[in-house]
Structure 1
């Protein structure tokens, strides 16, 4: 391909030889043709390279690097991307027919939009439909205060407008690098929802979102929020969201730990309610917090943590 492609699709991958081909085929089968696929193999030890070579498509560029995590692989691909628009697609998340054409047309027709994101569907390990997901209409204040990653699978970024942006991912965040990316990007331009179901997200046992309930993951959310609000360039209306955003971060930490470390989960939940006693009335039901832990529950969980619960 002699001229720069219009669209760059970045696929970070690690040991996904069985699922990656499905994602590649979903992209190669799009009606648009002016694109490149940059597969960044983050140190795979399976047959990832063979699965890519079997496609034999010159639009696929394969690069191998030592394992460094999803953020490192994504940044590697971001630096190699040449397209006007860029999309980061997880190696196990196929896109739907019409994805690229619809997103490209929307970005072309709305030059002031920095990021566009579609609706998407949740699928299981076998690709079966679990749920249709209608994304929230974009509002920066809500994305910040609710800690809601409004852009999800299938999002397009106007890469040409970000010449001085640097790396797409902040590598210090392992568990929520996409949220941190969207918060930084939102300071550079407007986002918009594209009301069409065009992508998918696969839930399976090896997904960090599904499987990881570690203390490290729980601690990352408050740290991410504090780091974001330490920026000197935040607009006043965004800075005013800090207290509730922190309460959401502690609630997320409580949710992560509620099965494995109930006492610490309750402590995080108490901090969440101390920062913000009430959720805003417009908060969707699926984002509402657990109820504040009762004294009886706290006492019971303390006894369990001390090994004194005889029941």
Structure 2
């Protein structure tokens, strides 16, 4: 909240939804006396319902996303306003994000880069865009027009990105405008394995759309999807996340152990992650090679 209230522009409203919170969030928000803040309190409905309610309740044409544990850099909204002025017909914008807090955490969120056409090509090739949800700015009308957020999974945002990319331009603001906080208690950390399987399912939905095949539900093919995950990638990703969390807590011994565990679990993943961090020209996308799905087409698309 402090990072939003301290922006270099003040022409915005903060829409905060408390989704059945019992941790004092509502009382904290009500203690902030600022005319730009509008608070909605609801019984617990879950993330997807709440994200769609944000779209419905938004009083402007654009919804700037931010999770409760992340921060906006001071000129974030000013940069966003400039991008909207330059590309008013866009369906979506996003920026880069660094791991927060700076000075303790290292690295940046692994983000896809490119022009709207290049991002669309990634999707047409059967891969998913890698975008930090907290950096996204949605054209409200267009996002709702393609169905908004659809799935009660831990990767509902990636499902919206591919649908948006196929119909509208997604513009990247190539600056780090958000600080992404990694925490052992965050939704992403607590559901990392499920999130990775959900990501494969989102790719499956994309391929089903591209190849015009009727998709099954995630529960019907969960085991087959889990089998597509590269060996050791979950442990490697978990180790890198723990590495940064321990750095922030200044538990340097545990940080080194987590880093070593990540490298041991999947040297290929670690090298690839390092390449993505250092190279500005490498194409970054999420998912596995599409032909791996075709090798299992009898079980993934039994009706074809």
Instruction: Note the alpha carbon deviations across 1:200-234, whole angstroms, 9 max, x for none.
Output: 111010123333354x4454233322223333798
1:61-106 deviation per Cα after TM superposition (whole angstroms, max 9, x unaligned): 1111222222221111111011121112101011101000111111
Determine if the alignment matches structure 1 residue 84 to structure 2 residue 64: no
What residue number does 1:182 align with? 161
Which residue matches 2:278? Answer: none
Q: Which runs of 5+ in 1 are unaligned?
A: 1-23, 235-245, 261-268, 270-281, 290-311
Listed as ranges, the matches of 1:107-118 within 5 Å are 107-118=84-95
1:63 to 20, 40, 48: 40
1:48 to 25, 30, 45: 25
Q: Is the 2:127–2:287 contact (alpha carbons within 8 Å) kept by the matching residues of 1?
A: no
Per the alignment, residue 256 of structure 1 pairs with: 234
Distance 1:77 1:230, change over 3 A: same
1:105 aligns with 2:78: no
State how far apart, in whole Å, the 1-side matches of 2:174 and 2:151 are: 31
Structure 1 residues 58 and 249: alpha-carbon distance in aligned structure 2, compared to 1, 3 A threshold: farther
Cα contact 1:218–1:252 (8 A) shared by 2 = no
Any conservation in 2 of the 1:115–1:192 contact (CA below 8 Å)?
yes
**Local SS of the residue matching 2:198:** helix
Match of 2:198 in 1: 220
Q: What is the TM-score normalised by the length of structure 2?
A: 0.64
Alpha-carbon spacing, 1:115–1:259, altered in 2? closer, same or farther (3 Å): closer
Match of 2:2?
Answer: 25
SS at match of 1:76: helix
Residue aligned with 1:194, SS: strand
| Change beyond 3 A, Cα 1:133–1:175 | closer
SS in 2 for 1:187: helix
Tell me what 1:95 maps to: 72
* Equivalent pairs, count: 231
Q: 1:74 to 1:285 in 2, by over 3 A?
A: closer
CA distance in 2, matches of 1:89, 1:249: 33
Aligned partner of residue 145 in structure 2, secondary structure: coil
> Cα–Cα, structure 1 residues 286 and 181, in superposed 2: closer, same or farther, change >3 Å?
closer
**Corresponding residue of 1:273:** none
Higher helix share: 2
The separation in 2 between residues aligned to 1:116 and 1:258, in whole angstroms, is 30
- Cα contact 2:13–2:38 (8 A) shared by 1: yes
- Contact 1:117/1:194 (<8 A) preserved: yes
Distance 1:78 1:288 in 2: 27
Structure scoring higher RCO (CA < 8 A, sep ≥ 6) equals: 2
Normalising to structure 1: TM-score of the pair? 0.63
Call closer, same or farther: CA 1:58–1:232 in 2, change over 3 Å.
same
The equivalent position to 1:170 in structure 2, one of 138, 145, 150, is: 150
The answer to which structure has the higher strand fraction is: 1
- 1:121 is aligned to 2:102: no
The answer to whether the aligner puts 1:131 opposite 2:110 as a matched pair is no
Bigger Cα Rg: 1
What residue number does 1:209 align with? 188
Shift of 1:29: 1.3
Q: Secondary structure at the match of 1:46?
A: coil
Q: CA deviation at 1:157?
A: 1.7
Gaps of 5+ in 2: 213-223, 239-265, 267-280, 289-304
